[in-house]
Chain A
Amino acid sequence: MTTRVLAAETTNFLLPNATFFVEFALFLIVLFVLYRYVVPPLSRALDERQDMVRKQVQDKELAARTLQEARERYESELADARAEAASIRDEARADAARVRTDLREQADREVERIQRQGAEQLAAHRAQTLTQLRTELDGLSTRLAERVIGQSLSDDRRRRATVDRFLAELEHTPAGRGED
């Protein structure tokens, strides 16, 4: 009981006593120590770590971007190379076609030239033969006919006409048939 009475006399829970000032001073000391020596290095470390993390994230993004760019460049170059290869192939194909056409044309021309040459030779032969015949056939046929009818066929004019007609007929005969 005495304690309770004493307590009631000496202390009221809600009223501070001189301890207040000591406590205030103690709290201010703690505050000062933390404010001066603890929080600044801690904040600095926090900031630095945040910077470091941010930098790492940036580095990572940069690396990812570089990789992406390299991949894109590789792919674009690959596509270019493919396109170039295709164009070279197409060109080669076109060249081949052109060479083939050229060669064929050349061969065609050669064939034509040979044919023409042959035809010309043939025509020359024919003309030569005709001239020869014209000179030889006249005397020969006359002699043959005189032997058959036993008289001279002196009428030169008629004889020449007969030979001419024959030769003309011969000339009108197509060349192909004459060759056979």
Chain B
Amino acid sequence: MTNDAAGSAAVLAAEEITPGEHWTGEFLGFTMNIDTIIATAIAGAIVCGLGLYMARGVTRGRPTTLQLVFEALTGWVQGQVRDGMGLRAPRGVVSLGVTLFAFILICNLLAALPSEHVLPPPTADVNLAYPMMLLVIIWVQVAGIRARGAKKHFGHLTEPYAFLAPSEIITQYFARPVSLSLRLWGNIFAGGIMVSIIALLPAYILWAPNAAWKLFDIFIGVIQALIFTLLTVIYFSEAVGSDEEAATH
């Protein structure tokens, strides 16, 4: 009975929405997830388009709603960066935070569209989550080395106790990257699985949990974008150090 149900569920899910499976193509002998690339391009175009459209008419006078949204995001990121690093904030961190939030948010919100079975949210593919994570982790290391010097930056791992350095290394270079990327990926991927499970329900009842789940998915999308951005700023703050810390050392 259970096996049957599971089997039919798998088949149904495969027919409807198949999380983790992609519409692939070959390019120069490499396999590419074309759906992810198209979705990413669409999300990127939306973010860039809105941003450029907003920037064209940007004014210090009475702002448009779109400008207010961008201002709220930029103001929030600026506040986080200022609180964490003060004047030591490396160049571009605010832009990175704004881009991460806006881009991840739009990517995640693609999951809320009914086109999910054609264009899954690109954040549900590790191929997007990993590059963002890699960029953040490498940039954090570079910023830390530039702010405090390589010796101090890596010497920090042995503080306060040298014997805890292995755990610190695992945290910094393994747990953090993995959790940062897979948290985002997992949450959005799970949304796809949920939709595929809801799709097993009979059509006359399906709409209710589906609508409820899509609403919740929007919430998850916002939260995950927020978490990714916030953690990025926190990692930068930790690597660069705040003004007070610099003053006391």
Q: A24-B135, A30-B44 are in contact. Are A41 and B58 (CB under 8 A)?
A: yes
Determine whether B127 belongs to the interface, using a CB cutoff of 8 Å to chain A. yes
With an 8 Å Cβ cutoff, the count of chain A residues facing the other chain is 39
Determine whether A148 belongs to the interface, using a CB cutoff of 8 Å to chain B. no
Closest to B49 in A: A33
Please determine whether B30 and A46 come into contact, CB atoms closer than 8 angstroms.
no
Q: A22-B32, A23-B36, A41-B58 are in contact. Are A34 and B63 (CB under 8 A)?
A: no
Chain A residues with CB below 8 A from B127, complex form: 16-17, 19-20, 22-23
Please report which residues of chain A, range 16-66, place their CB below 8 angstroms from some CB of chain B when the two chains form the complex. 16-24, 26-31, 33-35, 37-39, 41-46, 48-49, 52
Cα distance, A6 to B84, chains bound together (Å)? 47
Determine whether B17 belongs to the interface, using a CB cutoff of 8 Å to chain A. no
Determine whether B142 belongs to the interface, using a CB cutoff of 8 Å to chain A. no
From B21, B52, B75, name the one whose CB has the most chain A CB atoms within 10 angstroms: B21
Closest to B122 in A: A23
Chain B residues with CB below 8 A from A10, complex form: 21, 24, 31
Determine whether A144 belongs to the interface, using a CB cutoff of 8 Å to chain B. no
Q: A3-B18, A19-B127, A45-B60 are in contact. Are A26 and B44 (CB under 8 A)?
A: yes
Determine whether A129 belongs to the interface, using a CB cutoff of 8 Å to chain B. no
Determine whether B59 belongs to the interface, using a CB cutoff of 8 Å to chain A. yes
Determine whether A79 belongs to the interface, using a CB cutoff of 8 Å to chain B. no
Closest to A30 in B: B44
List the one stretch of B94-102, B113-121, B200-208, B234-242 in contact with chain A: B94-102
8 contacts between A and B (CB under 8 A): A14-B126, A20-B130, A20-B131, A24-B131, A29-B48, A30-B47, A34-B47, A46-B71
Determine whether B162 belongs to the interface, using a CB cutoff of 8 Å to chain A. no
Cα distance, A35 to B110, chains bound together (Å)? 23
Chain A residues with CB below 8 A from B60, complex form: 44-45, 48-49, 52
Chain B residues with CB below 8 A from A39, complex form: 74, 94-95, 98
Determine whether B228 belongs to the interface, using a CB cutoff of 8 Å to chain A. no
Closest to B10 in A: A4
Determine whether A173 belongs to the interface, using a CB cutoff of 8 Å to chain B. no
Determine whether B92 belongs to the interface, using a CB cutoff of 8 Å to chain A. yes
Cα distance, A35 to B102, chains bound together (Å)? 13
Determine whether B154 belongs to the interface, using a CB cutoff of 8 Å to chain A. no
Q: How near does chain A come to B135, taking the closest CB pair, in angstroms?
A: 7
Closest to B134 in A: A24
Determine whether A1 belongs to the interface, using a CB cutoff of 8 Å to chain B. yes
Q: A3-B21, A42-B55, A43-B78 are in contact. Are A34 and B36 (CB under 8 A)?
A: no
Q: Can you list, as one digit per residue, whether each of B132-144 has a CB less than 8 Å from chain A (1) or not (0)?
A: 1011000000000
Q: Can you list, as one digit per residue, whether each of B195-220 has a CB less than 8 Å from chain A (1) or not (0)?
A: 00000000000000000000000000
Please determine whether B122 and A38 come into contact, CB atoms closer than 8 angstroms.
no
Q: How near does chain A come to B115, taking the closest CB pair, in angstroms?
A: 19
Chain B residues with CB below 8 A from A18, complex form: 27, 30-32
Cα distance, A14 to B189, chains bound together (Å)? 11
Closest to A17 in B: B31
Chain A residues with CB below 8 A from B135, complex form: 24, 27-28
Cα distance, A35 to B44, chains bound together (Å)? 14
Determine whether B128 belongs to the interface, using a CB cutoff of 8 Å to chain A. yes
Please determine whether B48 and A33 come into contact, CB atoms closer than 8 angstroms.
yes
Please determine whether B20 and A42 come into contact, CB atoms closer than 8 angstroms.
no
Cα distance, A21 to B10, chains bound together (Å)? 31
Cα distance, A23 to B131, chains bound together (Å)? 7
Please determine whether A30 and B71 come into contact, CB atoms closer than 8 angstroms.
no
Cα distance, A46 to B60, chains bound together (Å)? 7
Instruction: Return the contact of B21 from the options A1, A7, A52 (Cβ within 8 A).
Output: A7
Chain A residues with CB below 8 A from B58, complex form: 41-42, 44-45
Closest to B24 in A: A10
Q: Can you list, as one digit per residue, whether each of B38-49 has a CB less than 8 Å from chain A (1) or not (0)?
A: 001100100110
Chain A residues with CB below 8 A from B102, complex form: 34
